[in-house]
C-alpha cells in the first residue's frame, strides 16, 4: 500500500490505515499513539490532508490568549499528553465544532484525556514491521539521490538503522549515499569537528578512543572472522586484541 507519503506492507499498519480511512467520514476525536518516527503524523494526514498541525502547548496558548485563532475543521495535535487544561480544550473544541486527532508517544495518558477520544490507533515500532523497512528504505533512497544529486551513483549497500524508526532509517540511508563520495579528508574533518564540540575535562584521548577503535574492530571481525587473523592483520598481539574486544564489547 502506497498512498502518497504513506507506505506500508505490514498487516499491522494496514489495519491502522483502514481505521484512519473510517475516520475520514466518522467525525470523532481520535488518538494515534506510537514511538517517535513510527508515522503518527503521516497517518493522521490521511484522515484529513487539510488539517492544521499544531503542538499541544502552542494550541493551549492559542486557546488561552488568542481569541481570533484561525483553525480548520480538523486539527492534528502533537504531544497531546502535554495538555494540562483539558477542560478548556474540550470547551474550545465543542464551541467551534472542531474534530481533534491527538498524537502521543506516551504509553499512558490521564483518564480525563483518554475520555476525549472515541477511537485509539496504535502504531508499532518499525523493527516489528519488517515488511515496511524495505519500501521505506527505497523511498528514502530516491529522496537522498535527488537531494544529493547522486541519481547515477548508488551505494554498494544500504545501511539500515531502525533504532529510532523512520527517523534513524532515513538518516542511515542518507549516510549510505554520502559514504559513496566521502574520503579520508572528509572523515577526518567530521571527527575533528566532533571532538572540538565535545572536548571537556581531562583524559580526552582515553574517553574518545572508542570512536575509532570500535568501528575498526567491528570491521575486522566481519572481514577476518577469527581473532588469530584479526591480530595478524591489525598488527596487535592476541592479548592486546582480547583486551580491546572486551573493552568495547557493548559496541561490537
Please give the residue that has the higher pLDDT: either 201 or 181: 201
Per-residue pLDDT tens for 142-162?
999 999 888 888 888 889 999
Asked if the model's pLDDT at residue 131 lies above 70, the reply is: yes
Can you name the residues that pair with 54 across neighbouring β-strands?
A: 77
When pLDDT is cut at 50, 70 and 90, the band that residue 1 belongs to is: low
Torsion of CA 85, 22, 138, 126, to 10 degrees: 50
Asked if the model's pLDDT at residue 3 lies above 60, the reply is: no
Nearest Cα to 81, choosing from 45, 58, 110?
110
Q: Would you state the pLDDT for residue 108?
A: 87
- pTM, two decimal places: 0.77
Per-residue pLDDT tens for 93-113?
999 999 999 999 998 899 989
Where would I find the H helices in the chain? 11-23, 40-47, 56-65, 86-96, 111-114, 130-148, 165-181, 184-198, 204-208, 210-224, 227-234, 238-247
Per-residue pLDDT tens for 53-64?
999 999 999 998
When pLDDT is cut at 50, 70 and 90, the band that residue 5 belongs to is: confident
Q: Would you state the pLDDT for residue 201?
A: 86
Torsion of CA 13, 16, 18, 24, to 10 degrees: -130
Amino acid at each position: 500500500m502506497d498512498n502518497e507519503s504513506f507506505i506500508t506492507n505490514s498487516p499491522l499498519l494496514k489495519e491502522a490505515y483502514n481505521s484512519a480511512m473510517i475516520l475520514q467520514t466518522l467525525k470523532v476525536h481520535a488518538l494515534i499513539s506510537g514511538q517517535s518516527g513510527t508515522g503518527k503524523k503521516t497517518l493522521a494526514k490521511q484522515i484529513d490532508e487539510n488539517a492544521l498541525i499544531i503542538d499541544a502547548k502552542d494550541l493551549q496558548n492559542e486557546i488561552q490568549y488568542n481569541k481570533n485563532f484561525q483553525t480548520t475543521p480538523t486539527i492534528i495535535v502533537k504531544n497531546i499528553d502535554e495538555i494540562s487544561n483539558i477542560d478548556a480544550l474540550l470547551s474550545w473544541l465543542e464551541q467551534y465544532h472542531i474534530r481533534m486527532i491527538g498524537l502521543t508517544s506516551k504509553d499512558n495518558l490521564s483518564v480525563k484525556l483518554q475520555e476525549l477520544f472515541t477511537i485509539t490507533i496504535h502504531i508499532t515500532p518499525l523493527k516489528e514491521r519488517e515488511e515496511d523497512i524495505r519500501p521505506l528504505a527505497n523511498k528514502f533512497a530516491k529522496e537522498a539521490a535527488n537531494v544529493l544529486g547522486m541519481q547515477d551513483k548508488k551505494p554498494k549497500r544500504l545501511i539500515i538503522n531502525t533504532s529510532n524508526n523512520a527517523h534513524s532509517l532515513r538518516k542511515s540511508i542518507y549516510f549510505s549515499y554520502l559514504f559513496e563520495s566521502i574520503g579520508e579528508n572528509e572523515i577526518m574533518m567530521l571527527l575533528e569537528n566532533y571532538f572540538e564540540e565535545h572536548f571537556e575535562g581531562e583524559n580526552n584521548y582515553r574517553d574518545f578512543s572508542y570512536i575509532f577503535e570500535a568501528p575498526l574492530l567491528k570491521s575486522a571481525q566481519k572481514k577476518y572472522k577469527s581473532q588469530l587473523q584479526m591480530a595478524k592483520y591489525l598488527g596487535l598481539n592476541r592479548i592486546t586484541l582480547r583486551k580491546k574486544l572486551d573493552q568495547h564489547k557493548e559496541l561490537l
